Structure 1
């Protein structure tokens, strides 16, 4: 374990590179490595170059970006709430972003301009988190925030269900349902350009929170005694998670449990302090989502599996394990 801790950064970076390479190289159309390199260099078969550059490359980039944002957001929320079950979906941020995107799809606003969908997704995530902290009141009890998050998630899911129920035609309902299941299929560089700004902003807002999260392990009073501005920390965390997760959900749909799984996989490789888990979780999330997206392409099915379904199957058992462990302490 000590050896893994010492080499965690090189190992994670190598895992990200390998997963990205496999995401570009592997698919339904087999392209030998030599011809793939020639196509990426601008030579070779134009069809193979189109497959690699216009289909697989943006999909690989989005897998890395979305996974990194979800992993980082999960680690930040778990550190802030001191709760191993916290992640964007649990607190309602992902569902709020999904509701904002569903509104854009339902009313046809997404057709007005490509930026409308991510903007409404970001707005939905931010509004959900603002309501979350308002419901939690002045206190920052982790249990209170988790319970408020359940209420927010239930409310946003009810809004999504209402949109599906009142969809003007079955095709609109199918589009919304397919999007809610989460996928990176048929994504292009336009989606990369849409997702990149909010994800970069979200990650930048979370970047400097390591010291504050470490201090919060001593409790609010202890953190305040160490000079941590709790209100500013909360605001930066809210904005970072809302903007970043909103941008990710806008292009990938609802992909749950990545923010829950990754910090738990990374934590044993660190000293378990929140600051030590943050950025390794970003790399771990990028690799996990890329490999999960690779899996949905390799499983032989009539229709490609949805990415959100695969991550749910991976995340639910881990969620239940920690839930059972926590129950022993009640």
Structure 2
């Protein structure tokens, strides 16, 4: 007899049931459906388990999966792999990135770890790297980190003083991989329609090289009324799903389409070993921030760009 009901749909449950051979086994996940003869549980890796009610020995709701503390240093490095730059170079463990000036992330030094040189010398090498490419020197620094203070001590200042901090949010994939309210198409390569929906104006020439440069990527889209109205990009680094480039056409906002894109990408990542997910959003983008927080994302850290 099942100890859960339709009121538990959308919540985590544990279901003990008998297999064909008679042995009992447990499934833990989110209850997807509850019918007259069967129920379905979605595991954390997005695998659905359809179970006959007659085979259920016991079932009960369980608390939501706790969000484990994140290793900020590790996540800081992981973000660089989720959307790699066109050109990279190392100074010790610092990563210098250049991509013809498109996006700060792809055209800044990531000062993680030991540069292998006195700080002033490493900073000068980073400065020279960008000057040689006709780009402004940029450093992506975590707010409150020793690296932020060191750059400031060496004369680096806010590159974008009028802009707010960028927040890096994270959560467990189990909080995000619910069934989308819309049909989400996920492809390993974006087409022209995806790019047209992802950019408000012309697509920068270097954008495809950056967006498609990660080893394992996915491009999600939702089509309504004969047009692509919502898109997003996902990439896998270890067990981390990175989500970026989420954009909904203005006329279709406030309909849950961004959430559907997140869920579609999460369900793509689960069977590939995805367990956690992160994304970035500017603090002043309150609408997007509210959407992400509503599905379980919380702040890991925040960053700004410094320049000299």
The answer, yes or no, to whether TM exceeds 0.5 is no
Larger Rg computed on CA atoms? 2
- Which has the larger share of strand? 2
Q: TM-score, normalised by structure 2?
A: 0.25
Query: TM-score normalised to the size of structure 1?
Result: 0.24
Structure with bigger RCO (C-alpha 8 Å, 6+ apart): 1
